[in-house]
Structure 1
Amino acid sequence: MATIRKRTLPSGKTVWLASYTDGGGARRFRQFPTKKEADAFLVQARNQVASGVHTPDSVSPTVTEAGEMWLKRCERDKLEATTLRQYRTHLTLHIAPRIGGMKLSRITAPAVNAFVDQLLADGRSREMCKRVLVSLSAIVTEAQRRGLVIVNNVRSASPVKRSTREDVRPEMPTREELKAIIDATPDRWRPLILTLVFTGLRGSELRGLLWDDVDLKRGVLSVRRRVDRFNAFGPPKSKAGTRDIPLSPTLLRTLKAWKLACPIGKLGLVFPTGAGGVETHGNILSRVFWPIQVAAGVTVLGSDGQPDAKFSMHALRHAAAALWIAQGLSPKRVQTLMGHASIQQTFDQYGYLFEAREDEAAMLAGVENGLVEHV
């Protein structure tokens, strides 16, 4: 039985107390400032109890409390340190400051949509909003596993759509800039730069590459592992990340020569430190790739008025994809070589390149034949 009664608090304030019986037979109470709000709540609560999807506020944790439970589960599952750090950032910087105190039972689809709107208004990118929503959904799923909430309303919220006004083209060197970078690369670092340019490896995959992964007879490089920012080895980023990449003739000759000069270490790394250990991402940038760009004249003006390197190391991965597409490789083949989890990811990043192949210029000229006079 559900009832509403008027109640005067010791402070003299008047509230409306709604009472009902939950799905477990327990009597629940909740007060509201107006009778209209109490009525609306009881209608919703009765429907949820009847459908078996009601969680009383009194047994529901807050979003922050549920988030901490989720992170502890992630730690027990031994997720990579970089992944745990990213999840912690999502909770502490994006979720907790905005909805952390909200009861998990009150996370409705409209509340999630309002949360996303707030993130966007605060200057968060749409891509970041997508990632934060994935973490929020995982938080609710863990709470479901513990019996603390019945439904995951994050999944019912409107997806974060990419704005048609956003320029989503990845930043990468032009062909001329790429040539300048290669020409300016010292012999010591030429194998590393050419590998990035002609294989499209992620930085973590390059740093974890072993000589056992490089078949110099067949001319094939196999991606089987990666190294995170803490220099810990792990599997590729996804199942699709495990892949075989053919080596171009110049890269194959370069790697054969480099194997004879490569520092020897117990790990058998292709691009180790001088002592044979794992090279850090920061060192490759600051000691290798950034100076090469400055020497090549591929720079932007820094805040101090001095030239700064223009591109991140990941830009060479995008450049590799652009080179493959320019040579006529199919979208599916590019997806495989890049290690993308889906063909949609490939089209999202490089669709404009597939649409702008050079052979289209001749095709468009042919369309005009017989229709207009060429001057």
Structure 2
Amino acid sequence: MASIRKRTLPSGKVRWLAGYSDGGGKRRFRQFETKKEADAFLVQARNQVATGVHTPDSVSPTVAEAAELWLKRCERDRLERTTLLQYRGHLTHHIGPRLGAVKLSRLTVPLINEFADQLLTAGRSRVLVSRVMVSLSSIVTEAQRRGLVTANNVRSAKPVRRSSREDKRPEMPSRDELKAIIKATPDQWRPLILTAIFTGLRGSELRGLTWGDVDLKRGVLSVRQRVDRFNSFGPPKSKAGTRDIPLPPNLLTTLKAWKLACPNGPLGLVFPTVEGTVQGHANILHRCFWPLQVKAGVTVLKDGQDEQGRAIKIPEAKFSLHALRHAAAALWIEQGLSPKRIQTLMGHASIAQTFDQYGYLFEARDDEAAMMAGVEKGLL
């Protein structure tokens, strides 16, 4: 039997106590500020009890407790170390401080939206907040799997909306800047830079590329693995990340010559260190790509000081290594590849991701073979 009764607290405040029996017949109670809230709760609770999916507050874990269960599952599923660190960071810096003590049964849609608003107000980017919300949703989903909560209200919340005014096109070198970068690239780094520009590989995929995945006879590069920031090998970021990319003529010639000069190592890497081990991402930036941009004049001016402490403008590299991936996509689109083909070559998990990144660049043209040669010819 469900009931609602009015209570006057010692402080003089009035509260409404909702009482009901759970699925096991045990009497449960919950207090509300208004009778309307108590009525709404009883309607929901009785329906959940009738369908066998009700979780009382007293047995519901907190968000922090559920998060630990989720992280243990992620570890058991052997997710990459970098992914686990990212998830732990979401919990430690964002979810835990604001929602950690909240019981899952009280994680309502308004509370979730308020949580996202707090993060945005605190200066977190929309991209970061979206990722944190995905982690929060995964925490609740794992709790659902264990029967600790009935519904995932994170899925029902719409806390982060993208504004067209805030959309940023990916930063990438212009055609002239690419030409300057290629011209300034020293011989020992030329194969890596050209491969990044003409294949669109991620930095982690470049670092994990082996000669066994480069078919120099057919002129095809296969992406089958990547290396994380701890230099550990793993599969591509998604199922779509496993892909084959045709090599344009001059890049193919460059790689054939590079294979003869490439440092040998047990891993058979295409772009190893001089000892044949995995290149660190920071090493590529500090020893190659950042100095290369300065040499090529592809820079931005930053505030700095000279030896006498006077304020001066200092030229710094303009782009990250990932910008070459965006440049590759732009060059392919310029040559007329279809959106679906761009999705495949870039290893995007969905066509929506491709359009989100490069939708403004598309125009209808065809002929992929001529495109691959055209991209290279325009720069070399």
The normalised TM-score by structure 2 is 0.88
> For residues 110-136 of structure 1, what are the alpha-carbon distances to aligned partners after superposition, in whole Å with 9 as ceiling and x for unaligned?
332232233322232332222222211
C-alpha distance in 2, partners of 1:12/1:174? 70
Query: Per-residue deviation at 1:155?
Result: 1.6
Alignment match, 1:334: 342
Bigger mean CA offset, 347-356 vs 27-36: 27-36
Counterpart AA for 1:241: G
Question: CA–CA distance in 1 between the matches of 2:216 and 2:159?
Answer: 46
The alpha carbon displacement at 1:108 in A equals 2.4
Matched to 1:316, the amino acid is L
RMSD over equivalenced CA pairs, Å: 2.0
Matched, 1:164 2:176: no
Partner of 1:297: 297
Shift of residue 33 of structure 1?
Answer: 4.8
Please give the alpha-carbon distance, in whole angstroms, between the structure 2 residues aligned to 1:242 and 1:36: 54
Structure 1 SS opposite 2:156: coil
Gaps of 5+ in 1: 358-375
Match of 1:84 in 2: 84
One of 308, 314, 320 as aligned partner of 1:306: 314
User: What aligned pairs does 1:50-199 form with structure 2 within 5 A after superposition?
Assistant: 50-158=50-158, 160-199=160-199
Deviation per CA, 1:221-255, whole angstroms, max 9, x where unpaired? 11010001111101111111111111111111111
Deviations 1:313-369 (A, max 9, x none): 000000000111111111111111111111111111011111599xxxxxxxxxxxx
Structure 2: give runs of 5+ residues left out of the alignment: 305-312, 366-380
Aligned-residue offset at 1:83: 0.9
CA shift, 1:47, in A, is: 3.5
**Counterpart residue type for residue 221 of structure 1:** L
- Partner-residue secondary structure (3-state), 2:303: coil
Distance 1:151 1:109, change over 3 A: same
How much has 1:12 moved relative to structure 2?
Answer: 7.7
* Letter aligned with residue 110 of structure 2: P
Say how many residue pairs are matched.
Answer: 357
Secondary structure at 2:18 match in 1: strand
Query: Identity of counterpart residues, as a percentage?
Result: 79
- Structure 2 residue 324 is matched with structure 1 residue 321: no
The residue that corresponds to 1:233 in the other structure is: 233
Superimposed CA distance per residue, residues 158-188 of structure 1 (whole angstroms, 9 cap, x where no aligned partner): 2733211113310000111111111111111
Mapped partners of 1:87, 1:324: distance in 2:
34
Aligned partners of 2:154, 2:133: CA distance in 1, in Å?
7
Question: d(CA) in 1 for partners of 2:279 and 2:290?
Answer: 16
**Distance in 2, Cα, partners of 1:222 & 1:348:** 25
Once the two structures are overlaid, the 10-residue window that deviates more, 9-18 or 153-162, is 9-18
SS at match of 2:272: coil
Instruction: Tell me if structure 1 keeps the 8 A contact 2:289–2:321.
Output: yes
Say if 1:10 and 1:289 are closer, same or farther in 2 by CA, change over 3 A. Answer: same
SS of aligned partner of 2:105: helix
Cα offsets for 1:36-95 (capped at 9, x unmatched): 544443344234333444221111111111111100110111110011111112222222
Distance in structure 2 (CA, Å) of the matches to 1:326 and 1:297: 24
Say yes or no: does 1:4 pair with 2:4. Answer: yes
Letter in 2 for 1:31: Q
Q: What SS does the corresponding residue of 1:302 show, helix, strand or coil?
A: strand
Q: 1:121-154 CA deviation, whole Å, 9 max, x = no partner?
A: 2232332222222211110111011111111122
Moved more, 129-138 or 221-230: 129-138
Letter of the 2:318 counterpart: K
TM-score (norm 1): 0.89
Aligned to 1:41: 41
Deviates more, 1:217-226 or 1:41-50: 41-50
Deviation string, structure 1 residues 274-331 (Cα, Å, up to 9, x no partner)? 1110111011011110000011111112232311111000000000001111111111
